[in-house]
């Protein structure tokens, strides 16, 4: 069980404050204040390294593709947002008035970004070993869920096979993107015969496609008669 007291992990109060400061808050202030986008950029790289290293060491039989898919199942907006909620990051975010009014404390995109920013702050404050401990503890639930179960499962391939048996082909379309250039989030919709099946968001187009395929598979398996036919 991870110590949810962030001050245990980040001793520097200014650094932790920056990690929890959204750009909307910094831009509304009378005096210029640092926000968390740079820390988010750093934290994303640390997160990728730690998760990749863990998967590599714990799954010696996995191929490169399986390792990539396992990492994508962990380093994604839903998982990071859940980790942030387990740490109550939403309650500690410093948001601008607009974000506050629009429910920013519950937005998965803001929570996931804040989680990466905190990881970046932990790394700067305590180094890689401390950051590794933080990531493995904070995302332990996701690592355990991936290992030996869904890791290596290519949802796009599974969806393609499912539909081809029924004479259909999926179409993936990027329907939106948001966030800074260095950390964009993409929203992808998968459809069949012009009928939308599911949408999902991810840190890359490939990840969003995988997650939308996963959601589509669940919908189709739950309600097979709804599959459109030509």
| Arithmetic mean of pLDDT, 194-217 | 90
SS3 annotation, the chain: CCCCCHHHHCCCHHHHHHHCECHHHHHHCCCCCCCCHHHHHHHHHHHHHHHHHHHHHHCCCCCHHHHHHHHHHHCCHHHHHHHHHHCCHHHHCECCHHHHHCCHHHCHHHHHHHHHHHHHHHHHHHCHHHHHHHHHHHCHHHHHHHHHHHCCCCHHHHHHHHHHCCCCCEEEEEEEEECCHHHCEEEEEEEECCEEEEEEEECCHHHHHHHHHHHHHHHHHHCHHHCCCC
Min mean pLDDT across 37-51, 117-131, 140-154 is at 140-154
Residue 17 has pLDDT above 90, yes or no: yes
Name the active-site residue from 37, 116, 187, 207: 116
Structural domain boundaries, residue 160: 155-223
Q: Which residue has the higher pLDDT, 35 or 27?
A: 35
Whether residue 112 is contained in a domain is answered as yes
pLDDT for 60-78, tens place per residue?
Answer: 888 887 788 788 888 988 8
Whether residue 99 is contained in a domain is answered as yes
Q: Which residue has the higher pLDDT, 138 or 98?
A: 138
Domains held by the chain: number: 2
Whether residue 127 is contained in a domain is answered as yes
133 flagged as catalytic: no
Q: Does residue 134 share a domain with residue 209?
A: no
Q: Is 40 annotated as a binding residue?
A: yes
Name the active-site residue from 44, 82, 187, 207: 44
Residue 152 has pLDDT above 70, yes or no: no
Min mean pLDDT across 7-16, 83-92, 219-228 is at 219-228
CATH of the domain at 54: 1.10.1520.10
| Arithmetic mean of pLDDT, 208-217 | 89
The CA distance from 135 to 83, in Å, is 10
Among 109, 130, 150, the domain-final residue is: 150
Residue 47 has pLDDT above 90, yes or no: yes
| Arithmetic mean of pLDDT, 149-162 | 68
| Arithmetic mean of pLDDT, 31-39 | 87
Answer for the pair 10, 19: CB distance below 8 angstroms, yes or no. yes
Q: Does residue 205 share a domain with residue 178?
A: yes
Helix pair angle (108-126, 37-58), 10° resolution = 80
Among 125, 150, 175, the domain-final residue is: 150
Q: Does residue 45 share a domain with residue 31?
A: yes
According to the model, what pLDDT value does residue 15 have? 96
Supply the mean pLDDT for the chain. Answer: 86
According to the model, what pLDDT value does residue 54 have? 95
| Arithmetic mean of pLDDT, 23-42 | 85
Q: Smallest Cα–Cα separation from 72: which of 183, 205, 219?
A: 205
Q: Does residue 189 share a domain with residue 162?
A: yes
According to the model, what pLDDT value does residue 227 have? 40
Q: Does residue 130 share a domain with residue 164?
A: no
Torsion from C-alpha of 188, 194, 196, 199, nearest 10 degrees: 0
Residue 230 has pLDDT above 50, yes or no: no
Q: Does residue 120 share a domain with residue 40?
A: yes
Q: Is the dihedral of CA 148, 152, 155, 158 positive or negative?
A: negative
Non-local (6+) Cβ contacts of 164 within 8 A are none
Q: Does residue 39 share a domain with residue 145?
A: yes
Q: Is 116 annotated as a binding residue?
A: yes
Query: What confidence tier does 94 reach under pLDDT thresholds 50, 70, 90?
Result: very high
Residue 11 has pLDDT above 90, yes or no: yes
173 flagged as catalytic: no
Q: Is 125 annotated as a binding residue?
A: no
pLDDT for 170-200, tens place per residue?
Answer: 999 999 998 888 778 999 999 999 999 999 9
Residue 224 has pLDDT above 60, yes or no: no
Non-local (6+) Cβ contacts of 149 within 8 A are none
CATH of the domain at 163: 3.30.160.20
Whether residue 228 is contained in a domain is answered as no
Query: What confidence tier does 37 reach under pLDDT thresholds 50, 70, 90?
Result: very high
Whether residue 230 is contained in a domain is answered as no
């Amino acid at each position: 069980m991870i110590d949810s007291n962030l001050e245990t992990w980040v001793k520097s109060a200014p650094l932790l404050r920056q990690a929890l400061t959204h750009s909307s808050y910094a831009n509304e202030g009378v005096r210029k204040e640092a926000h968390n986008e740079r820390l988010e950029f750093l934290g994303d790289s640390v997160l990728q390294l730690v998760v990749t290293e863990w998967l590599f060491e714990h799954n010696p039989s996995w191929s490169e593709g399986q390792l990539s898919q396992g990492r994508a199942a962990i380093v994604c907006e839903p998982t990071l947002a859940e980790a942030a909620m387990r740490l109550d990051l939403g309650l500690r975010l410093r948001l601008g008035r607009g974000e506050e009014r629009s429910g920013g404390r519950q937005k998965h995109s803001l929570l996931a970004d804040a989680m990466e920013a905190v990881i970046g702050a932990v790394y700067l404050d305590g180094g890689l070993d401390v950051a590794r401990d933080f990531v493995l503890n904070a995302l332990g639930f996701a690592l355990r869920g991936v290992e030996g179960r869904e890791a290596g499962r290519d949802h796009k391939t599974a969806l393609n096979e499912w539909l081809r048996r029924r004479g259909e082909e999926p179409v993936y379309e990027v329907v939106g993107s948001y966030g800074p250039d260095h950390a964009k989030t993409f929203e992808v919709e998968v459809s069949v015969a012009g009928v939308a099946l599911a949408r999902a968001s991810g840190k890359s187009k490939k990840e969003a496609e995988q997650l939308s395929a996963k959601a589509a598979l669940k919908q189709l398996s739950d309600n097979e008669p709804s599959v459109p036919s030509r």
